[in-house]
Homo-oligomer: A and B are copies of this chain.
């Protein structure tokens, strides 16, 4: 294990150079995952006929991590993370910046270096016009169930359940269960439970979970895995993944239409159904779940005793339990929509459940069509306070508070940005696929995927480290 220990110390030093104003990441990292666990799991990467392919791993531990698309990992520890390079920009793509048009010389790739990611999702692409071909994550630490989404990182620390979305970040710390979408950030500390969406000159949305509520659902003490009700929910279902990871190939009992895809690394329990153009990603969990046409369940989503009517987006880490979602609902990153058989949750058509929202129903809840919901909702009274009709928000302009959330700027710009984004996600996921290349997206492209498995050195001083591996395409025109 000596070399693995040395690698971890090396990462700590690199990250601390960036973050010394906020935190020493050493006490956070040294004990949080046992060396035994870091050496016990294989890494796996998806191979399809359609995704650009280039993996290069060196001097790293990749325990339990999944890769797709073009990725390079150097001197890093990735533990049970998902590095999804299926929305990266491609050679020849044109990016607009102000009045300039920039053309990509090469396919973009994800480059992770001197970083430690635990159960973290990395997805989307870099939105930094200064770095078009490289989605870089450098000198960065992300803990359990963090999301790094279209967010290049340089010297950052994400506590458990933190999401950084479409934001280039440099020397920032993101507290537990915080959500940020702010374009660009540097030398900023985002407090635990803060939900912050800001478009410079257009709008700003700000909410902060009360500390005692946050602690009940997700609580983090340095160096220990997080605890709380959301964690318990996940931990209780962990064993269902074991048979899946033990097999090289899976058979499913589920009838999956040709236009849909169900990852063999997803759990399917009880009576489930998936309709045309549905996407179910690796590490999703379905139990007594019905997914209507064009609906999706991303990584770390739990859809349990629930029905999605169609064209529903469930973003990475979204959990929907004993709930019924009408068509075109959006449930954001790490949202926890937790009904029970006695207190089910009804989400109306076209609702937006903001990222990180915690709905934990103490009584049956009905969310009217076209509602935006945020923050903590346990009762009808909470719902009243922490929600607004989207049509009403759209008409607002200025500065105010809605319930516990403060808002400034143009409601219309905020709503339009969301609507546009949801539309884009549905397109990317292949929800509108008809035939041929018409509307093709992840649901169709993940359909034919094989998985390659990389294991660490089983013993000796390199135990837990992976050999240097490079994988590139077979030549198409070699013969």
Which chain A residues have a beta carbon within 8 Å of chain B's beta carbons? 3, 6-7, 9-10, 42, 47-50, 53, 58-59, 75, 245-249, 448-463, 465-476, 478-479
Given contacts A462-B474, A474-B3, contact A469 B467 (CB under 8 A): no
A246 to chain B, nearest CB (A): 6
Cβ contacts under 8 Å, A245 to chain B: 248
Q: When the two chains form the complex, which single residue of B247, B456, B462, B471 contacts A467, counting CB atoms closer than 8 Å?
A: B471
Interface of A is mostly: loop
A282 to chain B, nearest CB (A): 15
Q: CA separation between A466 and B456, bound complex, in Å?
A: 21
Q: Considering the complex, give the chain B residue whose CB is closest to the CB of A251.
A: B246
Cβ contacts under 8 Å, A454 to chain B: 452
Q: Considering the complex, give the chain B residue whose CB is closest to the CB of A249.
A: B246
Q: CA separation between A403 and B395, bound complex, in Å?
A: 104
A114 to chain B, nearest CB (A): 12
Flag if A468 contacts B457 (CB, 8 Å). Answer: no
Q: Considering the complex, give the chain B residue whose CB is closest to the CB of A48.
A: B458
A198 to chain B, nearest CB (A): 40
Q: When the two chains form the complex, which single residue of B7, B47, B249, B457 contacts A479, counting CB atoms closer than 8 Å?
A: B7
Q: When the two chains form the complex, which single residue of B75, B467, B474 contacts A457, counting CB atoms closer than 8 Å?
A: B474
Flag if A479 contacts B10 (CB, 8 Å). Answer: yes
Cβ contacts under 8 Å, A53 to chain B: 467
Flag if B449 contacts A458 (CB, 8 Å). Answer: yes
Cβ contacts under 8 Å, A466 to chain B: 474
Flag if A473 contacts B467 (CB, 8 Å). Answer: yes
What are 8 sample pairs from A and B whose C-beta atoms fall under 8 A apart? A47-B456, A49-B463, A450-B455, A450-B458, A462-B474, A467-B472, A467-B474, A468-B471
Q: CA separation between A474 and B7, bound complex, in Å?
A: 12
Q: CA separation between A478 and B462, bound complex, in Å?
A: 11
Cβ contacts under 8 Å, A475 to chain B: 58-59, 468
Q: CA separation between A319 and B33, bound complex, in Å?
A: 47
Contacts A47-B456, A58-B474, A450-B458 known; list 7 others, CB within 8 Å. Answer: A10-B479, A42-B450, A47-B457, A48-B458, A53-B467, A59-B478, A468-B475
Cβ contacts under 8 Å, A9 to chain B: 479
A224 to chain B, nearest CB (A): 26
Most chain B Cβ neighbours within 10 Å, of A247, A463, A479: A479
Q: CA separation between A218 and B407, bound complex, in Å?
A: 82
Flag if B3 contacts A479 (CB, 8 Å). Answer: yes
Q: When the two chains form the complex, which single residue of B247, B457, B474 contacts A59, counting CB atoms closer than 8 Å?
A: B474
Q: CA separation between A71 and B45, bound complex, in Å?
A: 22
Q: CA separation between A138 and B436, bound complex, in Å?
A: 42
A151 to chain B, nearest CB (A): 28
Q: CA separation between A118 and B48, bound complex, in Å?
A: 26
Cβ contacts under 8 Å, A455 to chain B: 47, 450-452
Flag if A471 contacts B474 (CB, 8 Å). Answer: no
Given contacts A6-B479, A247-B246, A452-B453, contact A468 B458 (CB under 8 A): no
Cβ contacts under 8 Å, A3 to chain B: 474, 476, 478-479
In order of increasing CB-CB distance, the 3 nearest A-B pairs are A49-B460, A6-B479, A450-B455
Given contacts A53-B467, A248-B245, contact A476 B452 (CB under 8 A): no
Given contacts A455-B47, A457-B49, A470-B470, contact A248 B42 (CB under 8 A): yes
Most chain B Cβ neighbours within 10 Å, of A249, A453, A467, A471: A467
Q: CA separation between A449 and B48, bound complex, in Å?
A: 28
Flag if A468 contacts B474 (CB, 8 Å). Answer: yes
Cβ contacts under 8 Å, A6 to chain B: 479
Q: CA separation between A479 and B461, bound complex, in Å?
A: 12
Flag if B461 contacts A476 (CB, 8 Å). Answer: yes
A39 to chain B, nearest CB (A): 10
A188 to chain B, nearest CB (A): 31
A66 to chain B, nearest CB (A): 14
A53 to chain B, nearest CB (A): 6
Q: Considering the complex, give the chain B residue whose CB is closest to the CB of A466.
A: B474
A85 to chain B, nearest CB (A): 15
Q: CA separation between A479 and B448, bound complex, in Å?
A: 40
Q: When the two chains form the complex, which single residue of B50, B58, B457 contacts A450, counting CB atoms closer than 8 Å?
A: B457
Q: Considering the complex, give the chain B residue whose CB is closest to the CB of A470.
A: B470
Q: CA separation between A54 and B476, bound complex, in Å?
A: 24
